[in-house]
Amino acid sequence: MANLDQLAINTIRGLSMDAVQAAKSGHPGTPMALAPLGWLLYSKLMRHDPREPRWVGRDRFVLSCGHASMLQYSLLHLSGYDLSLDDIKAFRQWGSKTPGHPEVFHTPGVETTTGPLGQGISNAVGMAMAGRHLARRFGEELFDHRVWVIVSDGDLMEGVASEAASLAGHLKLGRLVVFWDDNEITIDGRTSLTFTEDVVGRFASYGWHTASVADGNDLGALEEAARQALEDPRPSFIRVKTIIGYPAPHKQDTPAAHGAPLGEEEIAATKVAMGWPAEPFYVPSELEEARAAILRRGAQARRRWEEKRSAWAEANPEAAAGLAAALSGELPPGWEEGLARFEPDPKGMATRASSGKVLMQIAAAVPNLVGGSADLAGSNKTKISDDCFRPEGEGVPPRYVYWGVREHAMGAAMNGMALHGGVVPFGATFLVFADYMRPAIRMAALMGLPTRYVFTHDSIGLGEDGPTHQPIETLASLRAIPGLTVLRPADANETREAWIAAMKCRGPAALVLTRQNVPTFDRAGMGAATGLHRGAYVLTDRGGSEPQVLVIASGSEVAIALDAAEILAAKGVATRVVSMPCWELFAAQPQAYRDEVLPPAVGARVVVEAGVRQGWERWVGDGGFVTLERFGASAPYETLYEKLGITAARVVEEAERLLC
């Protein structure tokens, strides 16, 4: 087998060089250096079945340094996944299965979309957390799989990786094994330019088991380090010293091997040094034996796991039904029945408070809802359970996560939890700190993951904390992310419907909620709160059913719109108030419905929202804008609304200007 191992390693190196050269772009050096480690993982260490890449009991592999994608594509092809040599030849081309960075749900065997450095290792932490929840709920004998990760220097420079690693060490996520490709090269030069810390010492301080392998080509040392990691109850961090671009004679150990093709001459010289045929994309026929062994081993492992699951299910039929439901991703029948309905109240409550009441009820009905807050549980109203993730040993299934002040890691780990399956993840913080989570939210939208975000303190309405905490531009920036559903409910009953909509959403959804109290509307003679599910709806027509002016608002400003409509109606101006809690849902409605809510003939349209106007032009054209184009200030929220002009009087002024 040793000869086959070397053949496979050389094949990976050859395919990586050739594919990048054919594409005229890519990263050949890291796949070449990591070929021994990658082959060891796929051929011996990982529990996986290439014929069933979504098998629940499999180990997960995360290539956090996604630019080294040709490593993973080569391994998938040689292991027997549905990835042909023609797919590899189409590397980075339109419509191929081999995009520049790995993409989940696109290439069989890829577990997450990686590319932005630091996200992959942080996804892996979330995968390990989801695995722990399922193991505690349904049994360690079923959920004893590992999460294997390869990270680069760049991953470890990004702050999100530090946050996630700190949490993983605290929680003692012992089924997580991370290999660091220590090649000392980045695009700009040697890592000594910027990165001289004791990385192994850093991970030791986080509470990880650590080890080092002096030569990334030493399969025996790599395997021994991995075996020791599997025996340690802590997460494991293994430094692997490699030479980028090895064995290219002139470009190895240089930045030139990192982010560009090696060039025909260097490839030819490298193949000579390897004793390898010059033929591009050469795969020795002898590797069929290695592929068959991997397929045989994977099928046996899966069969044993399925037999174990069948025996467990027969002995635990109720738990088995719960597991099937959790893994299906479908919500339990009747989960939304009995959710709180709120009585009219002019004083009302903050939508964060009504959200908290509804969330507790959802958590009681959906046992695989798992998540928490970034050190703001009391403010976000998201403490769904006392059964939290802890570093201690056995216990009840953990459902609540004390993320700590780690918004970056929270967002990325939530993605990993969703990718793992079996849980519905949520995370909470102040809306202004969504900016810390933005890369992970973007990745959730790109992957179409069912992540749920609770963002409270949504505007200048939070008051005295001042402009550093008043997210006047954040709402617009979230609405700019394709595939993210942003819900900003106006009152308690819209908040209930917003949670229902979010839970049913196939992709990520964000609830944007107030700190300050808002009225709970008397719906008699008004549009029902269920109108939220269509994104926007007619809340009321005042002064006549044929409106002269449309006043459109979301969230806490809907109450201001209603006050303005009363004033305008008293002046003889027929006014329609439209609550628009969700642009994305409204945009998805038939044109006829959108025209019914916003009649094209009515050109006088005023928006009122305590945020920047950006994007509202889509719905109102050059209409009136009662919005903010400056940062806030520190003062009671009532003062801020008055001083910054987010008032019914300003809405009336804008409406009258448009009607002149």
Distance in angstroms (rounded) separating the CA atoms of residues 555 and 456: 12
Contacts of 480 (CB under 8 A, 6+ apart): 615
Which residues on neighbouring strands pair with residue 151, listed in sequence order? 180
Distance in angstroms (rounded) separating the CA atoms of residues 624 and 602: 13
What are the structure tokens assigned to 292, written together? 């068959």
What are the structure tokens assigned to 553, written together? 């608002």
Contacts of 397 (CB under 8 A, 6+ apart): 133, 136, 137, 387
User: Of 266, 407, 494, 557, which is the active-site residue?
Assistant: 407
Helix then strand then coil, in percent of the chain rounded to 5, is 45, 15, 40
Distance in angstroms (rounded) separating the CA atoms of residues 40 and 177: 14
Q: Are 114 and 63 in contact (CB under 8 A)?
A: yes
**Which pairing describes strands 537-542 and 575-579: parallel, antiparallel, or unpaired?**
antiparallel
DSSP 529: G
**Which pairing describes strands 575-579 and 605-608: parallel, antiparallel, or unpaired?**
unpaired
Query: Which whole-number Å values give the CA distances from 235 to 175, 387, 400, in the listed order?
Result: 6, 22, 21
Distance in angstroms (rounded) separating the CA atoms of residues 535 and 486: 10
DSSP 44: I
DSSP 460: G
Neighbours of 598 (CB within 10 A): 20
Active site residue 330: no
Which residue from 143, 151, 205 is spatially nearest to 182, judged by alpha carbons? 151
Handedness of CA 411, 416, 419, 422 (dihedral sign): negative
* Location of structure tokens 């004033």: 567
Distance in angstroms (rounded) separating the CA atoms of residues 627 and 606: 10
Q: Are 244 and 30 in contact (CB under 8 A)?
A: yes
Which residue from 216, 245, 255, 220 is spatially nearest to 13, judged by alpha carbons? 245
Question: For 246-253, which contacts have Cβ atoms below 8 Å and span 24 or more sequence positions?
Answer: 246/32, 246/33, 246/217, 247/13, 247/32, 247/273, 247/274, 248/29, 248/32, 248/273, 249/273, 251/29, 252/29, 253/183, 253/184, 253/185
**One-character DSSP codes across 189-221:** EEGGGT--S-HHHHHHHTT-EEEEES-TT-HHH
Active site residues: 407
